[in-house]
Amino acid sequence: MQKVILALLFLGTAQAACPNQCSGHGTCGSDDVCTCYQNWGMGDEASGDCSDRVCPYEIAFVDTPDASGKFHKYMECSGKGLCDRITGECDCFDGYTGKGCQRQSCPNDCSGHGTCEYIEDLTHGVVPGQYWGFTSKQGGLYKTAKTFENTILSVWDYHKSMACVCDPRYIDVDCSRRMCPKSNDVMDERMNTEDTPLHQTQRIVLFDAGNVHYANISTLEYTNLTDASGNVLKQYDHFGYTDNTGYDDVGVHKFIHGIYNTSQGDYAWYDEAGENFALTFTSTLNESFTTYPIYLHNDPSMLSHQIELALKSLPNRVITDVEVQTKMGYIHMLNYTEGNDYFGKRSYDGAQYTGEIDVFDTLSSSMDWANWIEKNAVISDDDPKIHYIEMNVTFSGVPKGPQNLLTIETKECQDGCTPKLNGIHLIPFGPGNGGFIVEAVKADFNNYECGRRGKCDYETGECECFEGYTGEACSTQTALV
């Protein structure tokens, strides 16, 4: 019995030897040293009496290099805050927030006029045409922004650095500044008065497959694959399937898109089940406006008229006048380097005109037309063709000067969508997603804040025009000064 009591006394003495019995947050080991439980310690030490909390460790914004010269290692509170040893939470310095102060906060919370976004979610440009950085030889129909999440994954500040994305009509790093109206400088002199003023023209090209709503009216032709002697080897349709029906020229002469209705005649232009699309115009003040549904038509002039009406019907008179010229036709997929079969159009590329949009050099890898044709095939009028719709939109009124590229809404979007769209069936041919949008003619007008003839009041977003000028954007001259 005495031995048991002595053993218990010695055990109590051993336990009491560790400071504060490790505060109940660790185990007492040899040499009376505490081994603290996870997230417990004492000050900056991992031992002591285990009475203090340890705060979260995150990748440091700034730290000293290790022996190999590496920066941005894990550090308590990311090196941008002080640890509260009682609560185990970081007290972050101004400009930093989150668990372990692992991310920046946005300045002034974006002033209530924007959203705070991670660096990987920031986009290039304002509209999809800018997001993807296409030149005259490329283009695409894109709806979503181009971000650099895939390339920034290896960057140390992924999911750490943040910035404001401002609402329309607001700007600056904290979205605190109002944007003022922009216009052409009314005093901008034309060096040669005989020159014809150039308004910006945007070219939209769609490669379409027709509307499956009208199964008997197809734009997908069949072609006979022949050898050098003209013997038929195989028959292909536009999706690479063989078919015994041979060449079908109905699709060539009756390109309808489902708008044609046999009960109404060739000139019927509306069918609620027909293919339609919408256009989104984004102003240089970053305001976006989307048209009502525009129905396709086999008459280019009627389609042009519908597009003009839709754009001029946008609210706030953001577009006062616009001219649209539409063309439709077929392009060969093989002999594109000869004569009219080459799809070359004027388009703007940087400081010079290249004179062409090289569709065939920008084929997507998922659609390789060359694999369809055997080496001894003869190129003829029976070669596979793709129908295209070319819409040239010229901003002939306000706004003048360079504008953001239009965004075309071609995807079906029914209940719950505004506008409600049937969409267009596009062939995945060309630079991207069944078509492209480029700037075909560069405007020789400018587009300055307050027309360069006034000063912007960034509190109100209104122009204070200089003497002799008036108007919302100071674009009207009232006197010779």
* pLDDT in single tens digits along all 481 residues of the chain: 555 555 544 454 444 589 999 999 999 998 899 999 999 999 888 889 999 999 999 999 999 998 998 999 999 999 999 999 999 999 999 999 999 999 999 999 999 999 999 998 888 777 876 655 444 344 577 777 677 776 777 788 889 999 999 999 999 999 999 999 999 998 887 666 677 888 999 888 887 765 444 333 333 444 455 556 766 555 444 333 333 332 333 333 233 343 333 344 444 445 567 788 999 999 999 999 999 999 887 678 888 988 999 999 999 889 999 999 988 766 655 444 433 333 433 333 333 434 344 454 433 332 333 333 333 344 444 455 566 788 999 998 888 888 888 999 988 898 999 999 988 877 765 445 677 787 788 888 889 999 999 999 999 999 999 999 999 999 999 977 5
**What is the pLDDT at residue 73?**
93
Per-residue DSSP letter, 24? G
**What is the pLDDT at residue 30?**
86
Burial classification of residue 35, based on how many CB atoms lie within 10 Å of its CB (0-12 exposed, 13-18 middle, 19 or more buried)? middle
Give the helix/strand (H/E) hosting 7.
Answer: helix 2-17
Q: 206 and 152 in contact (C-beta within 8 Å)?
A: no
Query: Which residue is listed with tokens 């999911």?
Result: 159
The Cα 246–Cα 420 span in angstroms is 38
Name the token pair of 242: 């063989």
Q: 399 and 318 in contact (C-beta within 8 Å)?
A: yes
Strands (E), 283-384: 288-290, 294-295, 323-332, 348-349, 352-353
The Cα 428–Cα 277 span in angstroms is 17
Name the token pair of 39: 């997230």
Q: 150 and 140 in contact (C-beta within 8 Å)?
A: no
For the chain, what is the total number of helices (H) and then of strands (E)? Answer: 5, 32
**Under DSSP, is residue 220 helix (H, G, I), strand (E, B) or coil?**
coil
Name the token pair of 44: 């900056």
177 beta partners: 171
Name the token pair of 377: 């095939």
**What is the pLDDT at residue 197?**
82
255 beta partners: none
Q: 393 and 441 in contact (C-beta within 8 Å)?
A: no
Name the token pair of 481: 């000064």
**Under DSSP, is residue 103 helix (H, G, I), strand (E, B) or coil?**
strand
The Cα 184–Cα 170 span in angstroms is 21
Name the token pair of 71: 């920066």
Name the token pair of 434: 């069944």
Q: How far is CA 263 from the centre of its chain?
A: 42
The Cα 166–Cα 147 span in angstroms is 17
**What is the pLDDT at residue 398?**
81
Q: 103 and 147 in contact (C-beta within 8 Å)?
A: no
pTM of the model: 0.72
The Cα 147–Cα 152 span in angstroms is 9
Name the token pair of 196: 């014809």
**What is the pLDDT at residue 191?**
66
